[in-house]
Structure 1
Amino acid sequence: MSMFGLFTCLSIYFSGVYVFCSKRKHLLVVLLSLEYIVLSLFMLIVLFLVEFDYDYFFPVIFLVFSVCEGALGLSILVSMIRSHGNDFFNSFFLSLC
């Protein structure tokens, strides 16, 4: 595994984790950071499999689950915008009281 590829994947992963932990105002930003993290993990898995000459069956399954996760997140976002009018987390929690 090349050091540049490993460094790139890890820097993408940690920047996604930073955005996920620090920017919690909008649901869309949280969902985008989660997709960013999943993309970096996919790149890391593919780099690992290329290095050790394994087959590429697991990355296909990983992509299927990540697409399902993205579709579920978008459906939650759409239903939240339809019911509350925006994607702020504060307005979502205030309406539960």
Structure 2
Amino acid sequence: MLMCYYLGLLYFCGVWSFTSNRSHLLSTLLSLEFIVLALYLFLYYYFCSFSFNLYFVVYFLVFSVCESSLGLSILVSMIRSHGNDYFQSYSVLQC
């Protein structure tokens, strides 16, 4: 039961980091990955405690890796086109 509280604390720390750091795309992506990692650990702990199959956990891990690679490719394309990942330097009309 104590592990659920720790995982909930990890999740809310990730959400707080996501909402407070919105100036750089890299810090936003890292906080999103932190949230996904907390959810992954919670699902793993939940399924192991009830002796379920871990196929859903593997699917979740595959989709989270695909999401992170998509975010990284967007980061690389923004840095190549604009020179940095700072959100305040972009105009809405340019993109």
TM-score interval (norm. to shorter)? over 0.9
How many positions carry a matched residue from both structures?
A: 95
Which residue of the partner structure matches residue 32 of structure 1?
Answer: 30
- Aligned to 2:72, which of 54, 74, 81? 74
Q: CA RMSD in A?
A: 1.4
Structure 2, gaps ≥5 residues long: none
Amino acid at match of 2:51: D
State the secondary structure of the residue aligned to 1:37. helix
1:48-88 deviation line (CA, Å, top 9, x unaligned):
10111100000000000000000000000000000010000
Equivalent residue, structure 1, for 2:39:
41
Distance 1:56 1:90, change over 3 A: same
Structure 1 unmatched runs, 5+: none
Letter in 2 for 1:21: T
Equivalent position amino acid for 2:3 in 1:
G
TM-score (norm 2): 0.94
One-letter amino acid matched to 1:5: M
Identity %: 53
State the alpha-carbon separation in 2 of the partners of residues 64 and 94 from structure 1.
Answer: 32
